[in-house]
């Protein structure tokens, strides 16, 4: 987590890589494509539609050597509003108080019905889940900085809801770069991300097979929690083509997976 820098709106922003624009494009597409379903949950007699962002950041960013862009929570709210099916509740969280406050201020200026929670994702996820309407439609964007921040407790916190869709960021770079440290038990990020992986993954395999085993174990854990992880994954790459992370959907309803298939198909899907 780097230092905040002056933004174009008079407030501080964070600096991000150019790949953030692609990530937000998929987020906007999914929110746009699912607007018809969301509309059915909006209104005084309906249960509501919630957007959840556990790693909100300050709500605005600057591409390195490039333009300013909205952060994920602001991009999601604005897309839902422009599509005529605004979320009835926007719940954000972050472990950094300054970033969280900036995101909350930006969302309030845009008229978003925002609630903010300070703390690590494993903690705030449980707090947020405890306050959600069990009959509402919920959508979570889980975009951690690394695998260590993506505690499996986050998945477990939301797994019991009937209507919960999650777009999640899984760091392929972390799986590659820190494999040796985790195999030697010098780090425990893999255990946080995919509990019990050592019991199911053969550590005498080549490194690529170990990485795949850890990721497959995580997918099995998600499925075991009652949420199907999608087969359609988007690999986000850096400026030099380096593999950074996957984006995928975890959801219970087949329609959500159909939406993601369209949203993650480059060049397809409706965007206002």
In angstroms, the CA 100 to CA 148 distance is: 20
pLDDT tens string 113-147: 999 999 999 999 999 999 999 999 999 999 998 88
**Pairing state of beta strands 243-251 and 234-237?**
antiparallel
Q: Which residue has the higher pLDDT, 152 or 2?
A: 152
pLDDT at residue 156 is higher than 60: yes
The answer to whether 89 and 51 have CB atoms below 8 angstroms apart is yes
Quote the tokens at residue 245: 């992370």
The answer to whether 149 and 57 have CB atoms below 8 angstroms apart is no
In angstroms, the CA 189 to CA 122 distance is: 13
Its pTM stands at 0.93
Domains recognised in the chain with CATH numbers: 5-171+227-263 (3.40.50.150)
In angstroms, the CA 194 to CA 34 distance is: 29
pLDDT tens string 189-237: 889 999 999 999 999 889 889 989 999 999 999 999 999 999 888 988 8
Mean pLDDT of 100-123: 98
CA-based max dimension of the chain: 58
What pLDDT is stored for residue 267 in this prediction?
46
Q: How far is CA 109 from CA 26, 84, 103, 113, 228, in A?
A: 24, 18, 10, 10, 36
What pLDDT is stored for residue 126 in this prediction?
98
Nearest to 117 by CA among 125, 106, 109: 125
pLDDT tens string 231-272: 888 988 888 888 888 899 999 999 999 999 999 987 443 333
Quote the tokens at residue 67: 């333009």
Quote the tokens at residue 88: 């009835």
Q: How far is CA 57 from CA 52, 126, 272, in A?
A: 13, 19, 25
């Amino acid at each position: 987590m780097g230092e905040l820098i002056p933004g174009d709106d008079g407030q501080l922003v964070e600096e991000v890589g150019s790949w953030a624009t692609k990530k937000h494009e998929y987020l906007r597409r999914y929110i746009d494509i699912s607007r018809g379903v969301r509309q059915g949950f909006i209104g005084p007699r309906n249960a509501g539609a919630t957007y959840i962002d556990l790693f909100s950041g300050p709500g605005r960013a600057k591409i390195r050597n490039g333009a300013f862009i909205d952060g994920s929570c602001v991009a999601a709210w604005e897309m839902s509003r422009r599509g005529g099916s605004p979320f009835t509740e926007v719940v954000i969280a972050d472990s950094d108080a300054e970033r969280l406050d900036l995101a909350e201020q930006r969302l309030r200026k845009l008229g978003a019905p925002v609630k903010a929670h300070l703390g690590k994702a494993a903690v705030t996820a449980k707090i947020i889940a405890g306050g959600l309407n069990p009959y509402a439609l919920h959508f979570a964007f889980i975009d951690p900085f690394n695998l260590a921040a993506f505690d499996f407790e986050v998945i477990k916190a939301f797994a019991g809801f009937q209507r919960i869709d999650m777009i999640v960021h899984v760091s392929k770079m972390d799986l590659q770069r820190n494999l040796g440290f985790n195999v030697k038990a010098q780090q425990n990020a893999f255990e946080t991300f995919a509990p019990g992986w050592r019991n199911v993954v053969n550590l005498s395999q080549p490194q690529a097979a170990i990485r795949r085993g850890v990721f497959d174990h995580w997918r099995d854990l998600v499925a075991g929690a009652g949420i199907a992880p999608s087969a359609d994954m988007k690999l986000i790459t850096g400026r030099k083509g380096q593999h950074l992370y996957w984006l995928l959907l975890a959801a219970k309803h087949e329609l959500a997976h159909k939406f993601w298939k369209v949203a993650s198909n480059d060049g397809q899907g409706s965007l206002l």
